[in-house]
Amino acid sequence: MMANLGFGSALLMISVVLSVCPAGAIQDAASAGDQSKEYSSRGSEGELQSAIALTRRGQFATAIPHFLAVRGAVKEQYAANFNLALCYIGIAHYKEAIPVLTELQNTGHDNADVDNLLAQAYVGDSQPAAALTALHKAVELTPTNEKLYIFVADACTDHQSYALGLKVVDIGLEHLPLSARLHYERAMFLSALDQFDLAKVDFDLVQRLASNSAIADLASAQKFLYAGEIDGAVRASREGLKKDNNDVRLLTVFGDALIRSGISADQPEFSEARSSLEKAVAERPRFAGSHIALGKLYLLENHLTDAIAQLELARQLDAGDPSVYANLAKAYERSGKPDEAKAALATLAKLNQAQAEKISSAPGDRKVSYGQVAH
């Protein structure tokens, strides 16, 4: 199965949140206990600023009621509505986000940021054709903006829409054929679709396009993982962390590769794995892949309560990842909770069946590789 190494498209859009707000709009929010009093004294504009600050910290559910309260009552209505939609996507309420974004389109704000966020919402709402339409509109405005494709590709990863994700990165590569990041994403989608021979072409291309970089080492580590060459994955991810020791994908691959290497709790490498994964969780608490790997590590230590806590967090963040349930079943079984273990295995079986159907229905023309452009 494909390792979910996207950071979550909604979180990645935080940079857009900053760009659409007036200068000085981002402020530290008051403590939770004093928020209601502060909102009352500062009025709608102050409430908007505090809500944006909550959004910036990823507190989407908390921010939503405050954005709703100021709709139509603030000067920066675009910022309020855009960030409201962002928060809805952040908590997977895609159906609520779509009308907010289409309203923005229809009221003079049909820009690339709105179109791109709408594409992500449609991906989450399982409307692939609408997602591609929205993406094409964004591309018409800023065709060489790499982030447009990355955000939607990450949404596809989050929702296991691998064939759609492949179409998204192919569109991006038409405009940015030498983008190492897009080739990396393409390799991951191809791997998820059981087309590893084609994926290797893109992984290799990433290493040539961005040689001696962290993403080149990440591509190498992923290629080794998919090929079952665990020692190579450990070496490549360790080398990548020398270049960027805060890259959550590298931290996660490194920790996971060490676990797969068969290390035991009394080895120094086990402490390395724990440190890397705990750092990854701290750096990006909404990244499901890190929680899954850390849960696996705690299982190895037989720290069952900690393992279940990490895996349940991962389930909240990415309910569609089969590896969550495979490990949850083990943790619950060892904890003497057979009913919970049985439920996890039932969900795992459904997800595996759904994934098999997605792979079998992937377009046949996927045989053509963009790796050819830079040979």
Taking phi first (over 0 means left), then psi (-120 to 50 degrees means alpha), and beta for anything else, what does residue 92 get? left
Q: What is the dihedral of CA 113, 158, 293, 236, to 10 degrees?
A: -60
Band (347; pLDDT cuts 50, 70, 90): very high
Q: Would you state the pLDDT for residue 75? A: 84
49 token code pair: 């600023």
Q: How far apart are CA 82 and CA 99, in angstroms?
A: 11
Q: Looking at residue 243, what is its pLDDT?
A: 96
Return d(Cα 185, Cα 289) in angstroms, integer.
Answer: 16
**Structure tokens that stand for 304 in this block:** 């069952």
Quote the CA–CA distance of 355 and 91 in Å, as a whole number: 23
Check pLDDT > 50 for residue 374.
Answer: no
What is residue 182's predicted lDDT score, i.e. its pLDDT?
Answer: 98
Secondary-structure breakdown of the chain: helix, strand, coil percentages, each rounded to the nearest 5: 75, 0, 25
**Using an 8 Å Cβ cutoff, are 89 and 61 in contact?**
no
pLDDT of residue 321: 85
Report the alpha-carbon angle 310-185-208, nearest 5. 120
Are 100 and 74 spatial neighbours (Cβ–Cβ below 8 Å)? no
DSSP letter, residue 245: T
70-79, 206-215, 273-282: least confidently modelled range: 70-79
Q: What pLDDT sits at residue 42?
A: 55
Q: Give ∠ CA 121-326-9 in degrees, rounded to 5.
A: 20
Count of beta carbons in the 10 Å neighbourhood of residue 117:
29
Answer whether 82's CB lies under 8 Å from 70's CB: no
d(CA 204, CA 370): 12
> Minimal CA–CA distance to 12: which of 104, 142, 149?
149
pLDDT of residue 358: 65
User: What average pLDDT score do residues 39-63 get?
Assistant: 81
- Measured on CA atoms in the order 10, 15, 18, 19, is the torsion positive or negative? negative
The Cα 151–Cα 157 span in angstroms is 10
What are 23's two structure tokens? 């200068």
Give, in order, the Cα–Cα distances in Å from 221 to each of 64, 260, 268, 361: 39, 13, 21, 28
Please check whether residue 184 is in contact with residue 208, taking contact to mean a CB–CB distance below 8 angstroms. no
| pLDDT category of residue 57 using cuts at 50, 70 and 90 | confident
pLDDT digits (tens, 9 = 90+) for 135-183: 999 999 999 999 999 999 999 988 889 999 999 999 999 999 999 999 9
Rounded Cα–Cα distance for residues 34 and 39 (Å): 9
pLDDT (average), residues 315-335? 92
pLDDT of residue 30: 30
Q: What percent of the chain has pLDDT over 90?
A: 65
pLDDT at 80 over 80: yes
Mean pLDDT, range 120-137, rounded to an integer: 96
Q: What angle do CA 162, 194, 365 make, to 5 degrees?
A: 70
Percent above pLDDT 70 for the chain: 84
> With b meaning 16 or more CB within 10 Å and e meaning fewer, what string describes 74-106?
bebbbbbbbbbbbbbbbebbbebbbebbbebee
pLDDT recorded at residue 361: 65
Each domain of the chain, given as residue ranges in start order, spans: 10-91
| Predicted confidence (pLDDT) at residue 365 exceeds the cutoff of 90 | no
Q: How confident is the model at residue 318 (pLDDT cuts 50, 70, 90)?
A: confident
How far apart are alpha carbons 173 and 16 in whole angstroms?
Answer: 22
Cα(277)–Cα(292) distance, rounded to whole angstroms?
9
pTM of the model: 0.79
pLDDT of residue 37 exceeding 70: no
**What confidence tier does 190 reach under pLDDT thresholds 50, 70, 90?**
very high
Candidate ranges 25-29, 38-42, 329-333; pick with highest mean pLDDT: 329-333
The whole-angstrom separation of Cα 52 and Cα 34 is: 17
pLDDT of residue 319: 85
Whole-number mean pLDDT of the chain?
85
What pLDDT, on a 0 to 100 scale, did the predictor assign at position 59?
87
